[in-house]
Amino acid sequence: MLKKELEIFTFEDLLNHFPIRHLDRTKVQLIGQVSPAMDMVQVKGILLSVELIGERRAKRLVAQLRDQSGIIELTWFQGITWVQKSLVIGQPYLAFGKLGFFLGRPQLSHPEMEQVVDGAAPVKSFLEPVYPVTEKLKARGLNGRALAKLTQQLFLVLEQKDLPEILPESIIAAERLISRWQAYQFIHFPVQQDNYLKAVTRLKFEELFIAQVRLGMLRSVRHRYSRGVTFARVGEAFNTFFHEHLPFNLTGAQKRVLKEIRQDMGSGRQMNRLLQGDVGSGKTIVALMAMLIAIDNGAQSCIMAPTEILAKQHYNQFSKLLEPMGIKVGLLTGSTKAAERKKVLASLADGSTSIIVGTHALIEDAVRFHQLGLAVIDEQHKFGVAQRARLWEKSSFPPHMLVMTATPIPRTLAMTAYGDLDYSVIDELPPGRTPVLTVHRLDDARPQVMDFIRSEIALGRQVYFIFPLIEESEKLQYEDLMQGYENVKAWFPEPQYWISMVHGRMNAEQKEVNMQRFVNQDTQIMVSTTVIEVGVNVPNASVMVIESAEKFGLSQLHQLRGRVGRGSEKSYCILLSGSQVGKDAKDRLSVMCSTTDGFKIAEKDLELRGPGDIQGTRQSGALNFRLANISEDRGLLELARGYAEQILEADHRLEMPVHLPLKQFLQIGKAKGEWSKIS
């Protein structure tokens, strides 16, 4: 039963089934001194009376306990017969329970009673653990108390050698951690609160440290053994582009990241790099220049985008920049027509196309490269690991991989969820951008909002209206969107205003036409769902209105807002909502109004939602810590990471004698010792 319900299979599992809280029965209060500020209290006195009161459902057992300072009432509503039988009037008892007051008189409901024998109060010498149990276990009579007994018995037979230290002595000393053995004792049976806190810190650190050492070893194995194409030179294509065609100066961050990529690709091993950069930070040009290095080394590249709109946009940008240099760029998406597709595939296979831009269509079997050297994945969160892996198979040597994401991931999360990838950040926006001004307005301020939008359009700017449509199939939301479209149209009638609309139920062609009209400034307004979210670039658009903004998550709001503020004009993001907005939603909206820093927003998101919900990390398994929480324990995580790196740097195979216990622990996975299974 333990096995199924709590996944407790071994003694070790039992030790790792940690209490959720402790009860303090180490003290005895004077009855005359209990106060409403107390929660659980323990008192000692003589049992004066025990009576049954009330009828049927209102039936309860009421007793009185007296010490030298006063009298307290004890009540039971359940198990009455049994309790009544076990109590002896006139005897001394310890009573422990939840304190309440009725008409100013103190009461304990359902107290636990313990008879005091020989006048000695059996006050506990440690805090009593309360363990989480499931309803099923409870129903079978196995409660937290029974688990506590089991654990206590286990400690009677355990010795220090059964829970040997695994952390190097130097770390323990430097961080003043308590020993592993002591930590396990104290997390279950602390003598006082301080013991417990020390135990938790020690075990959290251990958990995070072990995870970081594991990831670090994975990284180092990959670094040492994965072979890849060596891009030894930076040649004509790169240099010509850099000196003659680059439309702006690179930011410091872009240069730094390019250098990291160059080093990776020249190292002889396969690059596996995650590139993070806030929306608009200029990741595309970095990818393009990495591809030029591939060209200089005789290899082809591909860049895979999550939507057709985005693929098309990259294609236009790439071909505009590169065709003057005689570099051939191709486009392949789901809607590429058969004849065109055949041509594209042929030129990829014979190597005459150097760069191919596309969507998922790129991973189909029919796509063959002459020599694929670099694969770039844009907007990483829309692609799974499996899809990435299919790109590898397209080459005799695994191509270098550059995975780009505009969803900023908090540092701590990146360290744990993607800790086995190398990791670059563009943490600087190109110069000359004015941050988007974000405001929250209630629905009834609509007339003023519309006036403002009219004035922006009069200045030649364009506007987005975003409606929540999470599942493309949901009919209700679809109708909402159509209603929204009609409303916008009523405020902005033809022929003075023209409106584009893009949503998930349209086919690629319809989307494309509408998008193109907006890009060409034939329409001033774009009504859309979140399909517009990723990557779309219309620098002339200066206002984004988000309808029912309370329904969006933080990172989504941030992504959407990234669609404006791309040109030199001052841009605005207006979050509309009704007046009834929940606390979390209110928090989200106010975060949006207070910062445009994607990393700050991501941290906040992590705080509000917890790590389990952050996009793409749910199944990673890297976040399943028993005690640690990467949001709350950031400091500890950074510390653990630092030590893990330090150790692996000095001894990447953990062969030094001081690292042997750690190595053993990692190899066994779980240090089983000599413990037998719980049968």
Residue count, binding to ligand ADP (CB under 6 A): 18
Distance of CA 221 to the CA centre of its chain: 26
Measured over the CA atoms of residue 663, residue 666, residue 671 and residue 672, the dihedral's sign is negative
Span of 107-115, 244-252, 412-420, 642-650 interacting with ligand ADP by CB under 6 A: 244-252
Task: Say which amino acid occupies 50.
Answer: V
Q: Does 248 bind ligand ADP (CB under 6 A)?
A: yes
Residue from 95, 271, 285, 403 that binds ligand ADP (CB under 6 A)?
A: 285
Token digits for 434?
């004015």
Between 19 and 535, CB nearer to Mg ion: 535
Among positions 536-555, residues that touch ligand ADP (CB under 6 A) are 537
10 Å CB burial of residue 441 (0-12, 13-18, 19+) is middle
For residue 120, which phi and psi values (nearest 5 degrees)?
-85, 120
Residues comprising the chain, all counted:
679
Span of 240-248, 534-542, 623-631, 635-643 interacting with Mg ion by CB under 5 A: 534-542
Q: Does 280 bind ligand ADP (CB under 6 A)?
A: yes
Nearest to 25 by CA among 142, 148, 133: 148
Residue count, binding to Mg ion (CB under 5 A): 1
What gap in Å lies between CA 596 and CA 36, rounded to an integer?
46
What gap in Å lies between CA 540 and CA 591, rounded to an integer?
26
Q: Does 406 bind ligand ADP (CB under 6 A)?
A: yes
**CB atoms near residue 571 (< 10 Å):** 24
Between 189 and 315, CB nearer to ligand ADP: 315
129 binds, among ligand ADP, Mg ion, none (CB under 5 to 8 A by kind): none
Three-state secondary structure along 269-309? ECCEEEEEECCCCCHHHHHHHHHHHHHHCCCEEEEECCCHH
Between 378 and 456, CB nearer to ligand ADP: 378
Tell me which residue has its CB nearest to Mg ion: 535
How far apart are CB 535 and ligand ADP at their closest, in Å? 6
Q: Does 535 bind Mg ion (CB under 5 A)?
A: yes
Among positions 455-494, residues that touch Mg ion (CB under 5 A) are none
Q: Does 168 bind Mg ion (CB under 5 A)?
A: no
What gap in Å lies between CA 541 and CA 647, rounded to an integer?
51
Token digits for 249?
């100066």
Between 132 and 252, CB nearer to ligand ADP: 252
Residue from 22, 198, 283, 511 that binds ligand ADP (CB under 6 A)?
A: 283
Query: Which segments within 116-217 are labelled E, that is strand?
Result: 128-130
Span of 40-48, 242-250, 301-309, 640-648 interacting with ligand ADP by CB under 6 A: 242-250
Q: Does 557 bind ligand ADP (CB under 6 A)?
A: no
Span of 217-225, 248-256, 486-494, 609-617 interacting with ligand ADP by CB under 6 A: 248-256
By the 8 A CB rule, do 300 and 367 touch?
no
Q: Does 255 bind ligand ADP (CB under 6 A)?
A: no
Distance of CA 292 to the CA centre of its chain: 34
Q: Does 289 bind ligand ADP (CB under 6 A)?
A: no
Residues of this chain that bind ligand ADP (CB under 6 A): 248-251, 254, 277, 279-285, 406, 430, 535, 537, 566
- Give contact residues for Mg ion (rule: CB under 5 A): 535
